[in-house]
Amino acid sequence: MQAPNIEMTHNQPEYLKNRILLIPSLIRKPVIFLKWLYLSREMQITIFLSVLFLFIPLYLPQLLEPVLNSLYPPIPEKRLFGLVSGVSTNPDLEFARSTVRISSWILWSGLIIMMLWVFLPRIVTFADRKLRFKEAAADKLVQERPGDSLILYNEALQWALNPDIESALKDKIEAVNTQFSTEQQVAPLPTERTIAIDPASTVASSENTDTRESALIEDRYRIRRRLGEGAMGIVYLAHDERLGRDIAIKQLSPTLIGNAELMARFRQEAKALARLIHPNIVQAYDFIEDENQAWISMEYIEGQGLDSMLTDQPMALDSALELAAQIARAMAYAHQRGVVHRDLKPANILVTPAGTVKIMDFGVAKLNESGMQTRVGTIMGSPVFMSPEQASGNEVDHSTDIYALGIILYRMLTGTFPFSGDARSIIAQHLTKIPDNPGDKRSDLPQELQSLISRMLEKAPEDRPQSMDEIVASIESVATHLTDH
């Protein structure tokens, strides 16, 4: 896929010449202002001045009260035919007090508006910087990872204030959608049996053009051939010459070595795998790093990706339940050890010829005690399997894996996904649309299983099953009832 040839001109200085035109855009996208408040260094100054100015309407009328009383003294008056003297409140005093109060609030509002007027170019520059970063990252991924590029283009669109830039981004999204849809229609069907280790990768062609063949890493791992290439790295079949066994070795892509954040995520993937010793999770053996490169050596598995096993026909009920139970047991184990996968999907699940599930690719996994934090507003994961909290860029926990497994179960048992469309549309549906009941698409699904899947796909994490163990118990209950009948 070629990057869409669409020119985009970020003429920010020209755009800033008329600040009035920016106000409707900020009103239309208040999240930009809120994120600026949250992330900008000027946040403290803004809040401090706002609070300080608040003293004007709260205390100015009290401070001016003596002055008003002297300007509008009480009016002497005679009562009872002039026999009793008294005073009455000057009718102009209350009017003056109201005028001062209203004027104080107008002054405070004016100062706030003036302050925002001063900061407006900085807010727009902040948004433009975020947009440029997202757009540049998306441009680089268009050819190899069009799905992820669509996510980044949509994130960039959230920061677009200039209508021309917004229109150009929409054109890019439409161009990628069109090309991606075309390529998906003409893409060859996967072979019945593939060898894989990096589930985000594509299997290499029969022609071996890899220049690293026969290279020796750490005087131990002899590269034999390339298996595939994913978003973060290249995966090779290698031979451990010390232990005499074949392994898979994942090399961080050379173009990403200088990216500190992605390097940290590569280390995090190794740490996540290292703490997970489970029959349904690919095992990590070693993490190797030098000044110019990093590798993870791991278990080499022969098998078939779950994604290549899925067709437009529903999977046999007993087979789907067995696979789902294995996935749930593995993820229950991972969650108990503080690891959240965050990108659970059929492409990340390998099934061996014996029917054993192996979960892979913990590249965006979250470790509970890790010091590495995902920024608020950052979307991570694959659109089709993304939980609502992921889609909105919020903090996630183990419930996001439960939601993803619900999508996988829905797909296995009905032959369709609960949501369809382009990446942008699917993300929106995760947030707003209630999926069709799986029983409406397959009549032989037990009611207990329909209820389980519907609960797993609830929008609010607290409404879903609260653990993978609970899901395992429900699946086993359904399987037992099927056996009894």
* CB proximity list for 32: less than 8 A, separation 6 or greater: 26, 123, 127, 158, 159, 161
- Does residue 343 carry a catalytic annotation? yes
Tell me which amino acid residue 105 is.
Answer: W
- Residue by residue, DSSP assigns 245-305 as EEEEEEEE-GGGTT-HHHHHHHHHHHHHHHT---TTBPPEEEEEE-SS-EEEEE---EEEE
Q: Are 391 and 429 in contact (CB under 8 A)?
A: no
Rounded distance between C-alpha atoms, residue 402 and residue 342, angstroms: 10
Q: HSE of 369 in the Cβ direction (CA atoms, 13 Å)?
A: 6
Given 148, 198, 343, 361, the catalytic residue: 343
What are the φ/ψ torsions at residue 169 (nearest 5 degrees)?
Answer: -65, -40
Q: Centre a 10 Å sphere on the Cβ of residue 43 and count the other Cβ atoms it contains.
A: 12
Rounded distance between C-alpha atoms, residue 81 and residue 78, angstroms: 7
Q: Are 471 and 405 in contact (CB under 8 A)?
A: yes
Rounded distance between C-alpha atoms, residue 406 and residue 421, angstroms: 19
Q: Are 400 and 342 in contact (CB under 8 A)?
A: yes
Rounded distance between C-alpha atoms, residue 349 and residue 304, angstroms: 9
Q: Which residues are catalytic?
A: 343
